[in-house]
Structure 1
Amino acid sequence: MDTFTLSRLQFAANISFHILFPTITIALCWFLVFFRLRHTATQGTPAAQGWEQAYYFWTKVFALTFALGVVSGITMSFQFGTNWPGFMEHAGNIAGPLLGYEVLTAFFLEATFLGIMLFGRQRVSERMHLVATLMVALGTTLSAFWILSLNSWMQTPAGYEIIDGKFHAVDWLAIVFNPSFPYRLGHKLLASTLTAGFLIAGVSAWQLVKGAANDGTRRALRTAITAVAIAIPLQIFMGDLHGLNTLEHQPAKIAAIEGIWHTEKSAPLTLSGWPNEKDGRTDYALQIPHAASLILAHDINAELKGLNEFPGAHPPVAPVFWSFRVMVGMGLLMLAVAWTSAWLLHRHRTRDLATLPRALLYTLVGMTFSGWVATLAGWYVTEIGRQPYLVYGLFRTADAVAAHAPAMVAGTLAAYLTVYVLLLVAYVGVIKYMAEHPAVPAPATPGRGHAAPTAPTTPEEAAWKQ
């Protein structure tokens, strides 16, 4: 493979690994805020201990996930300079400030309060600890805001002018709030809610299966199932709005998603098939007449542009076509599992959750990382569907790649893939271990939350404390 293809694969590997972790932390921190609020509201009752247990366990999972997200994000950002210098050379006047805003408003906020959130439970007051958790949650959401603003601008550029081949900002409000940004942000936040919710539900179900559950496990499971049962229909609605926006601004992507080869009215919806790009058709297509026009444009007689309208300027069809179907299929499975689980939990509201049907518990365990599958599939639709452009319709991806030797890029790609596989195995293994051996939080002391002083056990500890 040539340098261009290898560089694309390397960036795809980096961003595929990185996106797994922010997709969890963006919403997981809001779950932690809820656990902390419930703990504060139920102080002095038996329920408070359960909410504290849920918060304590999932804070550790958040810390592990956050660390991997930060490290992999730094690695990914380096590639703008090492593999894709043309991007910053041409679009740096817009991309640079947006990335800088993320650091100034989001990363600094997270870094400031993360230490208090993780280690301040018995060192600051309950109110301050809750505020710290809230600030970290706001930071993760702000981070998503700026990153998705940049990505959306690359998909639907606005508020710019081009001088000597370089992009310059004319209207920052138009740049930040570009046409696809509201839909992409809403879609991502709901995707994170589903990813974190199914992670919590799956790990909690595993604890119930293994007999390692406590009251916090049960409360976390109910919270997660309620959240995903509400979020999945909202995500389907948001996906429909996002599709209408994409049809307006990126018709070539929609044509690839649906396998529409020629412009036609009342286009059929292709449920499955095998895109044949060489002959310009979908082999073995299973179709519903007129349904594509009805779903995509909300008009059964609407005309949809085909790939023939974009010669040499449309994405590869098969990856986009199949990624979209994986995403939608996983979304429908999430809907079925979430609503079935919510119904069964309602029936067991007065009983121990350990009596839930074993089939449900194992189903939830199997869905633990289902959000990752849907997220990656959706991300591939978004990014591959933008090709052959880096800034849609204006700047081609091939014009941004660095002229490295293919062997050098291939070697670093192999190294990245090896490290990422090992890290993923370690991540899942650590969560499994923590789930099966849940630690019990130390009891908080009244007042400002400071732990009672204990007598030092060694001369070194006494000197350190003094």
Structure 2
Amino acid sequence: MLLDPLILSRIQFAFVVAFHIVFPAFTVGLASYIALLEGLYLARRDERYLRASKFWLRIFAVSFGMGVVSGIVMPFQFGTNWAAFSDKVANVVGPLLAYEGLTAFFLEAGFLGVLLFGRERVPPWAHFGAAVLVAAGTLFSSFWILAFNSWMQTPAGYVVEAGRFVPADFSAVIFNPSFPYRLTHTVSAFYVTTGFVVLGVAAHHLARGRHRDTALLMARMAVFFLAVMTPLQIALGDAHGLNTLAHQPAKVAAMEGLWETSAPAPSVLFAIPDQAEQTNRLKVSIPRLASLYLTHTWSGEVRGLKSFPREDQPPVAPVFFAFRIMVGIGTTMLAVAWWGAYLAWRGRLETSPVFLRVAQWMLPSGFIAVLAGWTVTEVGRQPWTVYGLLRTADSVSPSLSTADVGLSLAAYLLVYAVVYAAAGYYLVKLVRHGPADAPPAGASARPARPLSAAVLPVDAEASRGD
């Protein structure tokens, strides 16, 4: 493979996005979870909810900061590496990014300070309100970013003037054909990802007999939530797949590894796709099954990749294998969620060492599934940036050289290695420290330290010279 500016720019953007998306995949759900904990504490005055909220708020602060820092890097590449794309689509997608900043980032930035540092300074209802508004900000951000991405996948509401896309109906730009499916499927995936992180962390402490009351509360909340949300997320994924079949049939053919148009269509469980020969090696398949879950009939027709010109076919192998990783993890998540809910219902959640071990292993599963799903979505759209209208090869900045992009990619690799290692180290320390323990019976609870003292690497008491 020739490492020309186009290939290197794609690698660089994929690298930056992959390292960024893991933080929204966590903080979107975590912000809502913190808002729920704050609301339950306000309503019930149960100290377990307060301890859990304080614990996750520390982790949220670091994760949110990393998400902002890594997210700022991406728009710069639209000017440096993808200037041709920016020139052609700016009139359509520029307002979407602007609305994301105005409605989401300002909301998050405005109330995050109250959430992090205002517990001792504002009434409890105001602190809860700040948590709700920060959670709303993360959802607004998802709304606008996914509207942008969905328009690239299923463009609508535009006209072309002098080679540039211009909005003709901005509501159609936002609510393009794939947007409702992509939004619900992605946000629910973020919630499931957060749920398994919460479950894994709680299981870590339960397995070691630490912070039992708070950890058990978190684990029970997580398994009952996941028992409902995981099958819902799978159902939303099925609806998204039907929409993709209608609007991006080449992507579905790559996901399924189908080269021939078939009615009924088999489901290829495993194969090694050979794009050069337009066939599969070592194929294992089940007759008719793809027709059932793609068209919801036993004899529905599914187009094969050979019905598309070779130059319009996406790279099959990464899409094919990423789809199976996503589906395999989703199925495992469902089994673990229902297993945990059964144990919690029987009152045996904290006494099952096998489940607690499995729950810890599942902690990163949501991130892997999200990255696999992102690979299916973005690689499956190739060779287009705006599907069917603007090719990726025509979107790269014309004046780039291989040396330019190679140098910037090397700089990204170096900086991200340092920054992510430091953030990961600190997050692991926070997780291992765990939530605060309940005070002994009959002892007066010591006033909670402000979150600033917990988040910042400074001991507030030592800094006063006590």
TM-score, length-scaled by structure 1: 0.92
Q: Which residue of 2 aligns with 1:30?
A: 32
Write the mapping of 1:77-96 to structure 2, written as runs, cut at 5 A: 77-96=75-94
Write the mapping of 1:195-206 to structure 2, written as runs, cut at 5 A: 195-206=193-204
Q: Which residue of 1 aligns with 2:441?
A: none
Structure 2 CA distance for aligned equivalents of residues 298 and 457 of structure 1:
64
Write the mapping of 1:27-426 to structure 2, written as runs, cut at 5 A: 27-43=29-45, 48-311=46-309, 312-348=311-347, 354=350, 356-402=351-397, 403-426=399-422
Quote the offset at 1:226 in angstroms. Answer: 1.4
* 8 Å CA contact 1:52, 1:216 repeated in 2: no
Q: Tell me, what secondary structure is at the counterpart of 2:388? A: coil
Judged with a 3 Å threshold, the aligned counterparts in structure 2 of structure 1 residues 457 and 331 are, in CA distance, closer, same or farther, namely closer
* 8 Å CA contact 2:267, 2:289 repeated in 1: yes
Could you tell me which amino acid in structure 1 is paired with residue 402 of structure 2? P
Judged with a 3 Å threshold, the aligned counterparts in structure 2 of structure 1 residues 457 and 233 are, in CA distance, closer, same or farther, namely closer
Quote the offset at 1:292 in angstroms. Answer: 1.1
Q: Which residue of 2 aligns with 1:431?
A: 427
Greater shift after overlay, 22-31 or 206-215? Answer: 206-215
Structure 2 CA distance for aligned equivalents of residues 158 and 285 of structure 1:
38
Structure 2 CA distance for aligned equivalents of residues 388 and 200 of structure 1:
38
Q: Which residue of 1 aligns with 2:456?
A: none
Judged with a 3 Å threshold, the aligned counterparts in structure 2 of structure 1 residues 162 and 126 are, in CA distance, closer, same or farther, namely same
Q: Tell me, what secondary structure is at the counterpart of 1:261? A: coil
Structure 1 CA distance for aligned equivalents of residues 175 and 366 of structure 2:
27
Structure 2 CA distance for aligned equivalents of residues 458 and 265 of structure 1:
73
* 8 Å CA contact 1:53, 1:215 repeated in 2: no
* 8 Å CA contact 1:200, 1:224 repeated in 2: yes
Quote the offset at 1:459 in angstroms. Answer: 13
* 8 Å CA contact 1:256, 1:321 repeated in 2: yes
Per-residue Cα deviation, 1:188-238 (whole angstroms, up to 9, x for no partner): 111011110011111111122333324222211111111111111001110
Quote the offset at 1:264 in angstroms. Answer: 2.0
Greater shift after overlay, 271-280 or 416-425? Answer: 416-425
Greater shift after overlay, 142-151 or 292-301? Answer: 292-301
Unaligned 5+ runs, structure 2:
438-444, 449-459
Structure 1 CA distance for aligned equivalents of residues 435 and 369 of structure 2:
31
Per-residue Cα deviation, 1:254-279 (whole angstroms, up to 9, x for no partner): 11111111222111110111001111
Structure 1 CA distance for aligned equivalents of residues 21 and 446 of structure 2:
36
Greater shift after overlay, 371-380 or 289-298? Answer: 289-298
Unaligned 5+ runs, structure 1:
446-455, 462-466
Q: Tell me, what secondary structure is at the counterpart of 1:264? A: coil
* 8 Å CA contact 1:14, 1:76 repeated in 2: yes
Judged with a 3 Å threshold, the aligned counterparts in structure 2 of structure 1 residues 434 and 294 are, in CA distance, closer, same or farther, namely same
Per-residue Cα deviation, 1:362-421 (whole angstroms, up to 9, x for no partner): 111111111100000000000000000000000011111123221221222123223334
Structure 2 CA distance for aligned equivalents of residues 77 and 148 of structure 1:
15
Quote the offset at 1:432 in angstroms. Answer: 2.5
Structure 2 CA distance for aligned equivalents of residues 210 and 427 of structure 1:
24
Q: Tell me, what secondary structure is at the counterpart of 2:312? A: coil
Quote the offset at 1:433 in angstroms. Answer: 1.5
Could you tell me which amino acid in structure 1 is paired with residue 38 of structure 2? R
Greater shift after overlay, 300-309 or 332-341? Answer: 300-309
Quote the offset at 1:168 in angstroms. Answer: 0.2
Structure 1 CA distance for aligned equivalents of residues 200 and 116 of structure 2:
23
Judged with a 3 Å threshold, the aligned counterparts in structure 2 of structure 1 residues 317 and 19 are, in CA distance, closer, same or farther, namely same
* 8 Å CA contact 1:212, 1:437 repeated in 2: no
Q: Which residue of 2 aligns with 1:17?
A: 19
Could you tell me which amino acid in structure 2 is paired with residue 293 of structure 1? S
Structure 1 CA distance for aligned equivalents of residues 390 and 220 of structure 2:
48
Structure 1 CA distance for aligned equivalents of residues 303 and 339 of structure 2:
39
Q: Tell me, what secondary structure is at the counterpart of 1:265? A: coil
Structure 1 CA distance for aligned equivalents of residues 424 and 227 of structure 2:
25
* 8 Å CA contact 2:254, 2:316 repeated in 1: yes
Q: Which residue of 2 aligns with 1:449?
A: none
* Shift >6 Å, 4+ stretches: 456-461
User: Percent of pairs identical after alignment?
Assistant: 47
Greater shift after overlay, 406-415 or 31-40? Answer: 406-415
* 8 Å CA contact 1:186, 1:238 repeated in 2: yes
Judged with a 3 Å threshold, the aligned counterparts in structure 2 of structure 1 residues 279 and 346 are, in CA distance, closer, same or farther, namely same
Structure 1 CA distance for aligned equivalents of residues 335 and 419 of structure 2:
31
Structure 2 CA distance for aligned equivalents of residues 458 and 400 of structure 1:
55
Per-residue Cα deviation, 1:264-310 (whole angstroms, up to 9, x for no partner): 21111101110011111111111011111121111222221111222
* 8 Å CA contact 2:211, 2:436 repeated in 1: no
Greater shift after overlay, 215-224 or 68-77? Answer: 215-224
Structure 1 CA distance for aligned equivalents of residues 293 and 52 of structure 2:
41
Tell me how large the CA RMSD over aligned residues is. 2.0
* 8 Å CA contact 2:211, 2:435 repeated in 1: no
* 8 Å CA contact 1:113, 1:135 repeated in 2: yes
Structure 2 CA distance for aligned equivalents of residues 358 and 205 of structure 1:
9
